Chains A and B, each alone.
Chain A
C-alpha cells in the first residue's frame, strides 16, 4: 500500500540521449496507473526507474512520500512482471514463486503457505511441480503474476505483460489483472503500447510521447477531451479524424474549400471521432454542425458496426455507422458531426477551447 510520486524525473543516457525529459505523476494509493505511448516514448525507461533497475538522472521518485532514488529494487519493496515473463527456467513453478521470499529470509512454512494460497488464487495449484518450459504462454504469464503477488509488495510494476499472448488470451488476462489488482489493492504501474489495454485498465492514464507526458487523467476524460492531436490520434480505435484548416477569404476552410464557420480563433486542425460523425443523404441538415461532402473509398463491415473510409475535407476520414450499411464504395454522401462533438487544435497541436 503506497502512493507513488514522480517529480520531474529525467533520464539521460551516457552519450547524451535523453529518454525521459522531466515527468511528474502522482499515483494515489491502490490506483492502477497506465503509461501508454508509442515505442521509444520513454515509458519503459520510466517504469525501470520506478523499479530501481535504472538510475535516475534528475528528479525524484517517492513511495509514500519517502524518496527512494538511491535504494535498490529489493529495498524498494516492488514486484515486477516482465514482458517475456523472465521465469527462472531451471526452477519449478513453486521455486520460481518462492525465490524472492527465500532471499528475504521468510520462514519456510510461511513461504509454503503464501505460495500455495497465491497458486490457488491464480489457478496454478496443479502446476507447482512443472518447469516453465512445460507451461503454455498464458500459464507462464500467470506464474509471472504469481511471483509478484506472493511477495505482497508495496507496488506492482507491469512491463507490457500481455504483449506475448494471443488476442483472446490477452483480453481474458486483462480482466484478470484488473480484478486481481483491485482485490489486492496494491498500487500499480502498468506500461503498454496498446491503447485498448490502457483505456480499460487505467484508473490514472498517462499518455507519453517523446519522453514527456502529453496528458494524464481518467481514461474517459482523456478520450473525450484529448489535450493534443497526438493524444487524439493515439487514444481510440480507429483514431480521431483530423483535418487541417487553412485560412481563406471567407474564414477558415478545409483542404477541399469547405468553409468552417464554427472554428474558434487560433484553430488549425479540426477533429472528430468516427463514432461522433454520421452520414446524411437528405437535405434536412442541423444548423449547428459540421457538414462535409464525402465520397466513400472503402467499407469495412465488422458485424455490430461498419467503418466507412471516405475522402472528405481534403483528407481521409473514417465514419462509424451502426450495424449493416447500404453504403457502397463510390457513393457520394454527406458526413455530419454536431458542433458539441468537434475538437479544435492550434498550430502546435494543442487543444483550443
Chain B
C-alpha cells in the first residue's frame, strides 16, 4: 500500500468503517436494549445509549431464573451449551485426526474405500439423516442427555479431510527418521504429528466450537426438559407470540451472554494459532 493517494486511503478507510458499523451496530443495539427496562424497550424509539438497568437485568438473568424459563438459570443454559460445544469440538478433532492418521500413514486393505466413504458423508447434511438418528437416540435412551446432544454430531468428514491434507504435506523422510529413531506408530503420533498439527487443531477448534455453540435443530429435537436446553433453544423459547408477554430486556441480556463464550474462544485461541502460524513458517 505504498504510494497510495490520500483519496484512496480515505475511501478504503471509509469502506472499512462502514463494514464495522454494519456488523457491530446490531450487537451494540442489543447491548443497549439489554440495559433498559422492559417499558423503555416496548415504547419506541429505543435510546441509542445504554440505560441504567445493567446490574438489575444481568443479575436477574443470571441468578433470578425461578419462574422464568421453567426455572432454569442462564448459568445452567451456558453450562449445557459449553459442554455440548466442547464435546462436539473435541470429539470431532479427536475422531478426525485419528481417522486421517490411519488413512494417510497406514497401508491396509480397502484404505481408499474407507476414505471415499468418509468423503461421501460430506454430501449428507444433518437434516437428511435427522429422523433415523432421532429414532436411534430414543431407543438408546439418550434423549435429554449430553451424550445425546454430542454424539450424533461428532463425526466430521470435513475435519478428516483437512487433517488428511495436512498430513500429506509432512515429508516421508520425517516418518522414516522417526522409524529409524525407534518411534512406533503411537510415539510418532504423539511426539511428532500432534505437535506439528497444533495450529491446525487450534484453528479447527475455534471453527468447531462455534459450530457446536450455534447448533439449533438437533438440540431442539433431542432435549425435552428445560434443564437440558442449550442457550440458543432457550432464547427462542423466551420469545412468546404475544409481544407484551416477552421479557425483551431479559431476552437481550441472554443474547448478549450467549455471544460471550464464542468470543472468548476466538480471542484466546486466535493468539494461540497466530503464534503457531508464525512459528511454523519455513
Please give me the residue from chain A that is nearest to B187 by CB atom: A103
Asked if A104 lies at the interface with its beta carbon under 8 angstroms from chain B, I say yes
Q: Which of B171, B174, B176, B198 meets A80, CB within 8 Å?
A: B176
Asked if A315 lies at the interface with its beta carbon under 8 angstroms from chain B, I say no
Please give me the residue from chain A that is nearest to B175 by CB atom: A86
Asked if B282 lies at the interface with its beta carbon under 8 angstroms from chain A, I say yes
Q: Which of A80, A89, A99 meets B280, CB within 8 Å?
A: A89
Residues of B within 8 A of A83 (CB): 173
Residue among A87, A89, A104, A133 with the highest chain B CB neighbour number at 10 A: A89
Kindly state the separation between the CA atoms of A89 and B191 in the bound complex, as whole angstroms: 11
Asked if A38 lies at the interface with its beta carbon under 8 angstroms from chain B, I say no
Kindly state the separation between the CA atoms of A151 and B182 in the bound complex, as whole angstroms: 11
Q: Count CB-based A-B contacts (< 8 Å).
A: 60
Kindly state the separation between the CA atoms of A90 and B181 in the bound complex, as whole angstroms: 16
A84 contacts B180, C-beta separation under 8 Å:
no
How distant is B280 from chain A, measured CB to nearest CB, in Å?
A: 7
Kindly state the separation between the CA atoms of A239 and B195 in the bound complex, as whole angstroms: 49
Residues of B within 8 A of A86 (CB): 171, 173-174, 176-177
Q: For residues 151 through 208 of chain B, which have their beta carbon under 8 Å from a beta carbon of chain A?
A: 171, 173-174, 176-183, 187, 191-192, 195-196, 198
Tell whether A103 pairs with B183 under 8 Å between CB atoms, given A89-B280, A133-B282. yes
B179 contacts A74, C-beta separation under 8 Å:
yes
A79 contacts B180, C-beta separation under 8 Å:
yes
Tell whether A72 pairs with B177 under 8 Å between CB atoms, given A86-B171, A89-B280. no
Residues of A within 8 A of B179 (CB): 53, 72-74
A84 contacts B181, C-beta separation under 8 Å:
no
Kindly state the separation between the CA atoms of A73 and B177 in the bound complex, as whole angstroms: 10
Residues of B within 8 A of A6 (CB): none
Please give me the residue from chain A that is nearest to B282 by CB atom: A133
B180 contacts A51, C-beta separation under 8 Å:
yes
For the complex of A and B, the 10 pairs showing the least CB-CB separation, nearest first, are A100-B181, A103-B182, A86-B173, A86-B177, A74-B182, A90-B195, A82-B173, A73-B180, A80-B180, A133-B282
11 A-B contacts (beta carbon < 8 Å): A53-B179, A53-B180, A72-B179, A74-B179, A79-B180, A82-B176, A88-B174, A88-B177, A89-B280, A99-B181, A147-B177
